[in-house]
Structure 1
Amino acid sequence: MDRGVFVSRAEAENTTLAEALDRYLTEVTPGKRRPENEAGFIRRWQAQPLARRVLATIRGKDMAAYIQQRQSDGVGANTIRLELALLSHLFNTARTAWGMESLANPVEAVKGQRPKLPQGRDRRLRDDECARLLTSAQAYGGEIGPLITWAIETAMRRGEIAAMRWEHLDGPSGPQCRQARVLLIPETKTGTPRRIPLSTAAVATLNALPRRPDGHVWSMRPDSISQAFERVCKAAGIEGLTFHDLRHEAASRLSEKGFEAMEVAAITGHKTMQMVKRYTHFRAEDLVGRLD
């Protein structure tokens, strides 16, 4: 203490994980892009027996036991990784912003033991599935048919599509013109806005849509899109295909058209080339013609 290097452990030894999670929810979570999602993870942590322990007593072995328990419960690897990421940020915040400098981050002690993500999906439209899908969607009615075409042409995420507004379209004659060739996506999963070029098929899809008075391009919510897509696939006799797989299909088609990886990333919004690779799946049959 005389040398000025003493670090008090009092607060870390008197604050339970549940109390720290309450403070995190109040001070940190509101600044996140999707606070409601993080609030769900916080409630899950607070329901754990570990939440009754004080922060200073939580160790790496506790994290290892938690991982093992969650895996035995059948929880997916990505969910466990997100739960650990939240707890890791909580401990770092407590150490740097809440005056608990002596606190060690137990999540960092199990870096090598975190569950690995499964191999990315490589499901693409096969044979006549695209035609069958669109025919089924047309019979189903509503917006799902144009939505399927739009997803294949733009590689947009489901939430990004549902949030589209006419004011975000731009073209040679200015905003909201009928020949718009660029779309602004102001809010994305990565937090970085992006502008994407529109194909002639995408433009034709837009031109066939009525203008809604609320300014939104589509009336369907993300969950409604997935539900309608499942019904369309079932009616078409197509198995193992999700609406998100259309994003894989679109990214793969862009690559097959000759777009470079950086160009594909600019359209899809991926931050790393590794993620572009994860979303781009070439079919050997389509590459045969390019061989000598």
Structure 2
Amino acid sequence: MGLEIQKKKDGSLKSNWWYGRFEMDGRNHCINLGVEIKGRIPKTLRKQGDTAFECSRTLAGAKLKELQSEARNTKTAKHHLQELYEIKAGEDIALIPLKELEAHWEVIPSKRKRATQQTKRQKASIRQFREFIEANFPAATLMSQITRRMALGWMKDINDKGMSATSYNVKLSLLRGIFEQLGPEAGVIANPFAGIPYRALNTVHRQPFTQEELNQILNHCDPILRPVVLTAMCTAMRRGDCCRLKWESVDMEGGFVTVKTSKTGEVAEIPLFPALRSELEHLPRVSEFVFPEAEEMYRTNIHGLSWRFKKALKNAGITDTVVEREDTRMKASVKDFHSLRTTWITMALSAGVPMELVRRVTGHSTVDVVLKHYFRPGKEAFKTALETAMPKMLTGGGEEAPETEAEDQKSDDSNQELLKKIRGLLEFGEDLEKDAILRRLAEIEKELAA
């Protein structure tokens, strides 16, 4: 055990750096000491070299002693931590290797069942973190060995790659949560991600489509995509919920679609609009899924669906689909499949549909989410909706024009005639059957409406 020079078979240097070999926990360790070999190298290390060589040997020896001392101190600290943990918890510390971090994360309890796509994205983030540590801090193989400097290095690497603030914050939240949940069992003294600030969000909201754009999109969708897009237009469901829609969720007789949303787990109740009903009535029931081809594509090649929708937008002449962002080099999508959900909500609220009914359809738990992220009327639509709802005196419409005397008289005569009919119904009501009375009242109601 001691200093080493690594050479090739022909005797030439394999590396220009000193290596140190030492034993710990019954295992031999050989590491690069970071000290360059200089001067004339003797045939063996038992012999003395020139002054430059001996100076580099002295520096390497000092570095090796420093590492050995640090390793012994670390071992002692780990031993004391182990004893402290056993006293407090009555069990051993579970040393969690970084390569097993994904598996341990999967068993952490979650408030809601994790969606498949969400799980894939989060496991990818954990894998990227592990690969970063392996490439930059190879000595750290356990969760308990991750330091604050390593955590900051990982977050800086993400930031330098031009990732958006939203993605940055999601990854930070994920790793912070993992160390918070698993740390106490893995011997982590302090969460290395705690206190790292989130980046300020510069949210770019999706924009709704116009009615003309919706018609153009439908006209340019391929056979697999078209019924899925129509479903999104009529129900405000997310892409995954549309693709995985099951026949058991569709009540053709009652005229409702009832689904448990994949993202929030909330139950959404959606009226079956005539356009969607007509589409569903002509579909064969060959699977438990309403759109089996779209469901398979969503499950096996989700990018295929994105490509098809982008192609439909391009062929429909809709080009303002992305915008530049200030906080990242990546562009933000403002018109995509999810914009169909924004469109439905914006149209419904602009038309005066009560917020509570909108939330029953979308499955949102709070009003804030709907208003902040989905209600995006254009200026003209916003203006029209306000002018329709607000008093005329505020919007500048003035008093409604008074009816002419002839129109007044005509209206009075019509009302008098209807009153006579109602009076006659009341006078002879006792001689009529209940059903007959109801039918006559319905007729009178229609006449009043006309």
TM range (shorter): 0.7 to 0.9
- The match for 1:108 among 191, 194, 208 is 194
Residue 265 of structure 1 pairs with residue 359 of structure 2: yes
Residue 158 of structure 1 pairs with residue 253 of structure 2: no
CA contact (8 A) 1:91 1:103 kept: no
Equivalent-residue separation in structure 2 for 1:242 and 1:136 (angstroms): 14
Matching residue's letter, 1:252: T
What aligned pairs does 1:1-292 form with structure 2 within 5 A after superposition?
6-7=84-85, 15=95, 18-19=98-99, 21-25=101-105, 27-28=107-108, 32-34=114-116, 35-49=119-133, 53=140, 54-56=142-144, 58-95=146-183, 98=185, 100=187, 103-110=189-196, 113-126=197-210, 128-137=212-221, 141-170=222-251, 177=252, 179-207=253-281, 209-218=282-291, 219-220=293-294, 221-222=297-298, 223=302, 224-239=304-319, 240=321, 241-277=335-371, 278-289=373-384, 290-291=386-387, 292=395
Segment of structure 1 superposing worse, 264-273 or 45-54: 45-54
Equivalent-residue separation in structure 1 for 2:105 and 2:359 (angstroms): 33
CA contact (8 A) 1:16 1:51 kept: no
SS of structure 2 residue aligned to 1:106: coil
Matching residue's letter, 1:156: M
SS of structure 1 residue aligned to 2:220: helix
What per-residue deviation string (whole Å, max 9, x for no partner) do you get for residues 186-215 of structure 1? 3511233433333333323322x3123112
Per-residue deviation, 1:77: 2.6
What per-residue deviation string (whole Å, max 9, x for no partner) do you get for residues 45-88 of structure 1? 21112685354454555434322221211223333222222212
Structure 1 runs (4+) greater than 6 angstroms displaced: 8-12
Matching residue's letter, 1:211: P
TM-score by length of 2: 0.53
Matching residue's letter, 2:125: F
CA contact (8 A) 1:180 1:203 kept: no
Equivalent-residue separation in structure 2 for 1:126 and 1:43 (angstroms): 41
Q: Which has the higher contact order (CA 8 A, sep 6+)?
A: 1
| Bigger radius of gyration among the two | 2
Unpaired segments of 5 or more residues in structure 2?
1-82, 322-334, 388-394, 396-450
Segment of structure 1 superposing worse, 159-168 or 222-231: 222-231
CA contact (8 A) 1:156 1:268 kept: yes
What per-residue deviation string (whole Å, max 9, x for no partner) do you get for residues 165-187 of structure 1? 111112xxxxxx3x442222235
Unpaired segments of 5 or more residues in structure 1?
171-176
Q: 1:286 to 1:184 in 2, by over 3 A?
A: same
CA contact (8 A) 2:266 2:364 kept: no
SS of structure 2 residue aligned to 1:189: coil
Matching residue's letter, 2:236: A
Equivalent-residue separation in structure 2 for 1:262 and 1:60 (angstroms): 46
Equivalent-residue separation in structure 1 for 2:201 and 2:138 (angstroms): 26
What per-residue deviation string (whole Å, max 9, x for no partner) do you get for residues 207-228 of structure 1? 2x31231121112133243222
Q: 1:33 to 1:142 in 2, by over 3 A?
A: closer
CA contact (8 A) 2:237 2:341 kept: yes
Matching residue's letter, 2:200: K
Counterpart in the other structure of 1:174: none
CA contact (8 A) 1:29 1:39 kept: no
CA contact (8 A) 1:67 1:114 kept: no
Q: 1:261 to 1:108 in 2, by over 3 A?
A: farther
Q: 1:236 to 1:19 in 2, by over 3 A?
A: closer
Segment of structure 1 superposing worse, 37-46 or 278-287: 37-46
Per-residue deviation, 1:105: 2.2
Q: 1:161 to 1:182 in 2, by over 3 A?
A: same
Q: Percent identity?
A: 21
Per-residue deviation, 1:117: 3.4
What per-residue deviation string (whole Å, max 9, x for no partner) do you get for residues 209-257 of structure 1? 3123112111213324322211111212211131111111111112112
Equivalent-residue separation in structure 2 for 1:246 and 1:81 (angstroms): 26
Equivalent-residue separation in structure 2 for 1:118 and 1:260 (angstroms): 29
Root mean square deviation, CA, Å:
3.2
Matching residue's letter, 2:151: M
Equivalent-residue separation in structure 2 for 1:24 and 1:271 (angstroms): 30
Equivalent-residue separation in structure 1 for 2:97 and 2:174 (angstroms): 12
SS of structure 2 residue aligned to 1:67: helix
SS of structure 2 residue aligned to 1:21: helix
CA contact (8 A) 1:45 1:51 kept: no
Q: 1:232 to 1:71 in 2, by over 3 A?
A: same
